Structure 1
Amino acid sequence: MRADRTATATSDSLPEAIVSLVAELDGVAVTDIPPLASVVDPDALVALFDGPQRAAASDVEFDYAGYRIHLRGDGDVRVLEATPVKRCSAD
């Protein structure tokens, strides 16, 4: 069973923090997981949490490499094991 991880990052280090936490949880090198850019624009994340509006930035969540990534305006990066969504059928 995988455990969740949390870290604090500056806006410039958000992408690296996300990738490092996911690699740590999987017990692999950062080069062994998909690029973060395959699911989100890393430059957009940096821009969103940079500057004087940082504290007021909304929370951002997205799925990456089997995990739910939760970013807060204060620099908190939380990586949680993603829960698969159960799909309903119309049949």
Structure 2
Amino acid sequence: MERSSIEQTTSHPVHEIVLEVAKREHVEPTRLPPLYDVLDPDALTALLDAPGDSLTVKFAYCDYHVTVDSDGNVTVADEQSRSRRAVDAGEQ
């Protein structure tokens, strides 16, 4: 299964998302479609930085499923492995 969890670092999750997807695609981050084509990065930043209860945001970007939580943890999973898991779960 192709899944990466990125530990919180000093950079913001928005940057981590783009860097991880670029790494998986073997391209420079500037070669990816803009993240703002999928969601508003400023809105994501505001949600994650807002005080309050825990929050998890899930979305698709460049055929990857991305999950970001309010602690700054980022998980990137490819769609093929997610589809395989969904089929496997349905067969049980």
Q: Deviations over 1:30-49 (max 9, x none)?
A: 01111100000000010001
Is the contact between residue 57 and residue 73 of structure 1 (CA under 8 Å) also seen in structure 2? yes
In structure 1, the residue matched to 2:30 is: 31
Tell me the CA shift for residue 60 of structure 1.
Answer: 0.8
- The answer as to 2:73 corresponding to 1:76 is yes
Which ranges of structure 1 fall in alignment gaps of 5 or more residues?
Answer: 85-91
CA distance in 1 between counterparts of 2:65 and 2:5 reads 12
Superposed CA RMSD:
2.3
TM-score between the two structures when normalised by the length of structure 1 = 0.77
Divergent runs of 4+, >4 A? none
- The answer as to 2:53 corresponding to 1:44 is no
In structure 1, the residue matched to 2:90 is: none
The number of equivalent residue pairs is 82
Instruction: Sort the Cα spacing of 1:51 and 1:58 in 2 relative to 1 into closer, same or farther, 3 A.
Output: closer
In structure 1, the residue matched to 2:88 is: none
Q: Which structure has more helix as a fraction of its residues?
A: 2
In structure 2, the residue matched to 1:18 is: 17
Which ranges of structure 2 fall in alignment gaps of 5 or more residues?
Answer: 84-92
